[in-house]
């Protein structure tokens, strides 16, 4: 058997990779600092155990890690739409998870206003937080494994929502991704250089894309309609779906970070595209959904030659952080 359950302690934090807040050179200040959630190895281990444990779903079948897989930068490989514990998740594509402490809001519509509130949503079955989290707390409180982990992390073995939120944020919040080829090139590490295609792609990216996919996070984390035609079945209005929606919010979606984008497909809020070429082609055709269309986009589409497109793809491929996706600290502790 390949799979074998082990105590999370058997896969301890690598001593060389101590857990701490990081602000890579020339990056802005993060939105979330751990000032009221002091980083400890025990909280991180608890957060990681929870992230990979289907105990968080009603019927014990699915964990955060089922939809957010490390080998694709914590997106959901090959799944346009996520199915699982929640019908709501069913109409959106699971984004990659990294550098979350720089996001000002979460989900494609930005409906969640704080990283600590994020773990609550997938656990609950309706738009609203009903009582559905209480049976999960009961399961955790009945488990000797979690009594032990909660006790180590918080000095009390009782699981409650706040401890669960804080521990999960330690795990998710410390997922920093800043070691792609692009980063090494920018930091001029080990003489990293771009080839001709990557160089041309980078300069096109700066001209055509970086107003929205802003360096260094590759997103301003603002909301825009980038002109995707509305899916006739999902009819997803993005921010227009929020309970505070106003007409100007229709079809606005969060600008995704393009870091690790070669791995995080399928693409867009509903996973409609499977390749980067399709994404780029979207920007070169005339935009059909012009309601609240982003002012940065020319209605008739961008002009890009076949060579330009290939160069953009070369550049986007430099944004993959292989160190991040193989960092053992973020791996499922249940697998050796």
Partner 1 sequence: MNIIKYTLVILSLFALASCKKDTKTVEPTPEPAPTTGNLKINFANKVGTANLSYNTTYTIQSGDSISITKFKYYISNIVLTKSDNSTYTVPNSYDIIDPAVKTAINLTNVPIANYKSVQFIIGVDSARNKSGAQDGDLAPNKDMFWSWNTGYIFLKLEGTSPQSSASNKSVIYHIGGFSGLNKGIRTVTINFGSSTANVNSSGTPAINLNTDVLEIFKNPSPISISSLNFQMSVNASSKMIADNYADMITFGSITN
Residues of this chain that interact with partner 1 (CB under 8 A) are: 36, 88, 107, 109, 111-117, 120-121, 124, 127-131, 133-134, 137, 160-162, 165-166, 169, 242-245
User: Which tokens sit at 269?
Assistant: 């809020």
305 Cβ neighbours under 8 A, 6+ residues apart: none
If one asks whether residue 149 binds ligand HEC (CB under 6 A), the answer comes out as no
DSSP code of residue 230: P
Q: Which does 208 bind (CB under 5 to 8 A by kind): ligand HEC, partner 1, none?
A: ligand HEC
Helix pair 306-317, 196-208: axis angle to 10 deg: 100
User: Which tokens sit at 277?
Assistant: 């070429």
Among 46, 94, 133, 263, binds ligand HEC (CB under 6 A): 94
283 contacts 270 by C-beta, under 8 angstroms: no
If one asks whether residue 200 binds ligand HEC (CB under 6 A), the answer comes out as no
Q: Which does 135 bind (CB under 5 to 8 A by kind): ligand HEC, partner 1, none?
A: none
Quick one: 149 or 168, whose CB is closer to ligand HEC? Answer: 168
Q: Which does 124 bind (CB under 5 to 8 A by kind): ligand HEC, partner 1, none?
A: partner 1
User: Which tokens sit at 334?
Assistant: 């249940």
Question: Could you tell me which stretch among 129-137, 155-163, 194-202, 252-260 binds ligand HEC (CB under 6 A)?
Answer: 252-260
Applying CB under 6 A, the site for ligand HEC has a residue count of: 53
Quick one: 191 or 300, whose CB is closer to ligand HEC? Answer: 300
DSSP code of residue 285: S
CA distance 222 to 252: 9
The residue assigned the tokens 């791995």 is 263
Quick one: 270 or 321, whose CB is closer to partner 1? Answer: 270
Residue 89 to residues 55, 76, 108, 228, 274: CA-CA distances in angstroms? 18, 12, 11, 20, 19
273 Cβ neighbours under 8 A, 6+ residues apart: 265, 266, 267, 279, 282
Q: Give me the residues that bind ligand HEC (CB under 6 A), please.
A: 51, 56, 62, 64, 66-68, 82, 84-85, 89, 92-95, 97, 100, 103, 106-109, 118-119, 122-123, 168, 172, 208-209, 211-213, 224, 226, 228, 253, 255-256, 258, 261, 264, 267-269, 276, 279-280, 283, 294, 296-297, 312
């Amino acid at each position: 058997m390949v799979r074998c359950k082990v105590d999370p302690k058997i896969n301890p934090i690598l001593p060389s990779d101590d857990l701490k807040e990081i602000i890579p050179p020339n990056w802005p200040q993060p939105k979330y600092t751990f000032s009221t959630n002091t980083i400890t190895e025990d909280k991180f281990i608890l957060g990681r155990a929870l992230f990979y444990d289907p105990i968080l779903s009603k019927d014990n079948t699915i964990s955060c890690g089922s939809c957010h897989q490390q080998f694709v930068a914590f997106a959901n490989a090959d799944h346009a739409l996520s199915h699982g514990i929640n019908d709501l998740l069913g109409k959106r594509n699971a984004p990659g998870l990294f550098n979350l402490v720089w996001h000002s809001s979460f989900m494609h519509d930005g409906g969640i206003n704080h990283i600590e509130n994020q773990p609550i949503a997938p656990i609950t079955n309706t738009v609203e937080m009903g009582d559905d989290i209480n049976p999960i707390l009961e399961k955790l409180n009945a488990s000797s494994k979690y009594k032990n982990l909660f006790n180590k992390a918080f000095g009390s073995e009782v699981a409650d929502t706040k401890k669960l939120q804080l521990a999960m944020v330690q795990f998710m919040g410390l997922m920093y991704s800043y070691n792609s080829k692009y980063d090494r090139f920018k930091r001029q590490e080990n003489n990293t250089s771009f080839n001709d295609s990557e160089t041309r792609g980078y300069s096109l990216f700066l001209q055509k894309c970086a107003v929205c996919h802003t360096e260094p996070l590759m997103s301003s984390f603002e909301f825009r309609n980038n002109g995707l035609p509305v899916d006739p079945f999902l009819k997803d209005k993005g921010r227009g779906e929020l309970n505070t929606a106003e007409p100007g919010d229709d079809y606005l979606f969060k600008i995704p970070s393009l870091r690790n984008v070669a791995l995080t497909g399928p693409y867009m809020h509903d996973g409609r595209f499977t390749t980067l070429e399709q994404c780029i082609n979207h920007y070169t055709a005339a935009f059909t959904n012009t309601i609240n269309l982003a002012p940065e986009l020319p209605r008739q589409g961008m002009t890009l030659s076949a060579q330009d497109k290939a160069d953009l793809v070369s550049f986007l491929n430099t944004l993959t952080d292989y160190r991040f996706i193989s960092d053992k600290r973020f791996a499922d502790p249940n697998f050796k």
